[in-house]
Structure 1
Amino acid sequence: MLDFKIKSHGIVSRQFLELNIAGFSGAAAFVKILPYRRNKNKNDELCVFKDHGGTCSTKHTLLKKLANENGVEEIKLFLGIFKMNTLNTPKISSVLEKYRLLEIPEAHNYLKYKNEIFDFTRKNSKPEDFVYDLIEEVEIQPEQIPDFKFEYHQKFIERYLKENSQIPYSPKKIWEIREECIAALQK
Structure 2
Amino acid sequence: MNFDIQSDKIISESFLNTGKTTFLEAAHFVQNMDYKRNLDKNNMLAVLNDNFGTCSTKHALLKRLADENQKFDFQLILGIFKMNADNAPQIKEVLEQHQLDYIPEAHNYLKWNHQILDFTSRTWRKENFESQLLKEIEIQPEQITDFKVKYHQNFLEDWLDQHPEIPYSIDEIWKIREDCILALSRG
Decide: shared fold, TM above 0.5. yes
Unaligned runs of 5+ in 2: none
- Give percent identity, aligned residues only: 51
Aligned to 2:26: 27
Aligned to 1:87: 86
Aligned residues: 186
Aligned to 1:15: 14
> What is the alpha-carbon distance in structure 2 between the residues aligned to residue 50 and residue 175 of structure 1?
29
> What is the alpha-carbon distance in structure 1 between the residues aligned to residue 20 and residue 124 of structure 2?
21
Q: Secondary structure at the match of 2:34?
A: coil
> What is the alpha-carbon distance in structure 2 between the residues aligned to residue 182 and residue 143 of structure 1?
22
User: Post-superposition shift, 1:184?
Assistant: 0.3
Q: Secondary structure at the match of 1:179?
A: helix
Any residues of structure 2 matched to 1:14-163 within 5 Å, and which? 14-163=13-162
Q: Secondary structure at the match of 1:186?
A: helix
Q: Secondary structure at the match of 1:169?
A: coil
Q: Secondary structure at the match of 2:91?
A: helix
User: Post-superposition shift, 1:50?
Assistant: 1.4
CA RMSD of aligned residues (A): 0.6
> What is the alpha-carbon distance in structure 1 between the residues aligned to residue 24 and residue 48 of structure 2?
17
Q: Which amino acid aligns with 1:103?
A: Y
User: Post-superposition shift, 1:147?
Assistant: 1.2
> What is the alpha-carbon distance in structure 1 between the residues aligned to residue 131 and residue 85 of structure 2?
14
Per-residue CA deviation, residues 83-125 of structure 1 (Å, 9 max, x unaligned), is 1000111000000011111110100000000000011001122
User: Post-superposition shift, 1:126?
Assistant: 1.4
